[in-house]
Amino acid sequence: MPEGERIRIGGGQGFWGDDLDAPRRLVEGGPLDYLMLDYLAEVTMSILRKLHDRDPSAGYARDFVTLMREIYPACAERGIKVVANAGGVHPHGCAEALEEAARSAGLAGKTRIGVVSGDDLMERLDALLEQGHALTNMETGVPLSSVRGQVRSANAYLGAGPIVEALAAGADVVVTGRVSDPALAAAPLIHEFGWAFDDHNRLAAAILAGHVVECGAQSSGGNCMAEWWSIPHRDVIGFPIVEVEPTGAFVVTKHPNTGGRVDRASVVEQIVYEIGDPRRVLTPDVSADFTTIRLIEEGANRVRLEGIQGAPPPDSYKVSVAYGAGWMAAGTLLYTWPDALAKARAAEVMLRRRFDRMGYRLDEIQAEYVGWNAGHGPLSTVPPPDAPEVQLRVAVRSTHRPSVAGFAREMAPLVLTGPPSVTGYAAGRARVQEVIAYWPALIDKNAVDPHVRVEVCRP
């Protein structure tokens, strides 16, 4: 790469369900070297596991393949590489579907697809427990054996290393299972600039760059509080791009002629998003110190971040285990003026008495009044005076499924039996869902074996 060259990475998806058109806007809207796409929220892996159990060919983010069918030709033509954790619990299945998409785009023999796997510990779980990896819950200190029977998925968050390996082997698109989210952007930087894994300051910069783009438009004006009313054209919001220099300093920006806004406020809100101790932001690759970041507003929609320092990473990978923890359901009813809140409150009391009378075994009952306290809970101290309407939302949880199913039938009858001027019961009908709980744990890095495969698209 020529000296002084910058690498541009765009964050095109913040979660599975994000703006489907955003990656296309990033690819077509201006210069870009890499597109990173984050599909995996915590809950996503257990959903994909369930789909995979029902149909062995499923278990990855199919949206990604649909998207690539559309943008693959443009990416190939412009030399834009793609890194996505769309593989879910079946990265090889995702790669196979992707190869089919590449073939139909006329790219047989012209594109290389990389697959990173080895994060999935589900098949090895009993062996690992037997070998003495207790996978103790980081928050409660309880060993995993106590919920072993209910475990639905278990994945280690891999680092940037295997993605770097895939890029070095010539991959144009890299599909992964569970990796640390910022690694999806850090890996291309480590690969392009040849940064060493003990160059902790540059690795911290790479992880910061990834952190800034991993939630999509949340750093370019989406969900931004600061003067939100003046942020232009969020309907065509420009997803964030980092322009990274060989030193690790980078500018956060977005393509011209897009909506949204990149400024100090939008970028800082994202930097502090979902972090703990800012002096030790832990990833598999580095411990980054966010208190060392220097932020400079360079101009309209250009924010420069530099100076970040890093330290060696922990010896363990974080493991996310999902396990079944009972059943839940939630339903709503809309009460209208006059005395909307009084009616909703009377309905709540009526429901609670019904639950007792029916003998439902409910571990928790939560009642909220949308329009008053569903967002801020007890901090919404003063009820709205003479509210035009209030929506009652009742949710329950239990390890006894028939009780939750019973609850699900209890709300609709209130339109005929309860307080008056009520509607909206059809839209708010309760549905029984399994509760998937999270078990955060650590595992020795030596116990996990990341695997990389890179292959040319076959004809």
* Chosen residue from 405, 435, 447, 456 binding other proteins by CB under 8 A: 435
Shortest Å, Cβ 276 to other proteins: 5
Q: Does 230 bind other proteins (CB under 8 A)?
A: yes
Near other proteins in 253-272, by CB under 8 A: 265, 268-272
For the beta carbon of residue 382, count every other beta carbon within 10 angstroms: 6
Q: Which of 104, 145, 247, 291 is close enough to bind other proteins by CB under 8 A?
A: 291
How many residues belong to the chain? 459
* Per-residue contact string for residues 17-46; x = within reach of other proteins by CB under 8 A: -------------------------xx---
Determine if 458 is a binding residue for other proteins (CB under 8 A).
no
- For position 368 contacting other proteins by CB under 8 A, the verdict is yes
Q: Does 297 bind other proteins (CB under 8 A)?
A: no
Among the listed residues 8, 49, 345, 397, the single contact to other proteins using CB under 8 A: 397
What angle is formed at CA 454 by the lines to CA 453 and CA 458, rounded to 5 degrees? 120
Q: Does 214 bind other proteins (CB under 8 A)?
A: no
Cα three-residue angle 141-147-153, rounded to 5 degrees: 100
CB-CB contact of 68 with 100 (8 Å): no
Contacts of other proteins in 102-161 (CB under 8 A): 139
351 is a site residue for other proteins (CB under 8 A): no
Q: Shortest distance, CB of residue 118 to other proteins, whole angstroms?
A: 24
For residues 114 and 452, is the Cβ–Cβ distance under 8 A? yes
Among 300, 379, 382, 426, which residue interacts with other proteins (rule: CB under 8 A)?
379
Binding letters toward other proteins, positions 180-209, x by CB under 8 A:
------------------------------
Is residue 15 part of the contact set for other proteins (CB under 8 A)?
no
CB-CB contact of 208 with 251 (8 Å): no
Is the bond preceding 73 in cis, omega lying within 30 degrees of 0? no
Q: Is 376 in the site for other proteins (CB under 8 A)?
A: yes
Give yes or no for residue 276 binding other proteins (CB under 8 A): yes
- Nearest approach in angstroms of CB 125 to other proteins is 20
Nearest to 9 by CA among 31, 30, 34: 34
Question: Minimum distance from CB of 263 to other proteins (Å)?
Answer: 12
53 or 274: whose CB is closer to other proteins? Answer: 274
Contact 311, 289 (CB under 8 A): yes
- Picking from 82, 36, 443, 20, the residue whose alpha carbon sits closest to that of residue 211 is 36
Stretch that binds other proteins, among 51-59, 175-183, 199-207, 231-239 (CB under 8 A): 231-239
25-33, 200-208, 392-400, 403-411 -> range binding other proteins (CB under 8 A): 392-400
Q: Does 324 bind other proteins (CB under 8 A)?
A: no
What is the C-alpha to C-alpha distance for residues 70 and 149, in angstroms, rounded to an integer? 42
End-to-end alpha carbon distance in the chain = 31
Task: Choose, by CB under 8 A, the member of 35, 186, 249, 330 that binds other proteins.
Answer: 330
Report the residue number, 166 or 430, with the smaller CB distance to other proteins.
430
| 244 contributes a contact to other proteins by CB under 8 A | no
Number of residues that bind other proteins (CB under 8 A): 54
* Binding positions for other proteins, rule: CB under 8 A: 42-43, 139, 223-226, 229-233, 265, 268-279, 290-295, 325, 328, 330, 364-366, 368, 370, 374-379, 393, 395-397, 435-438, 440
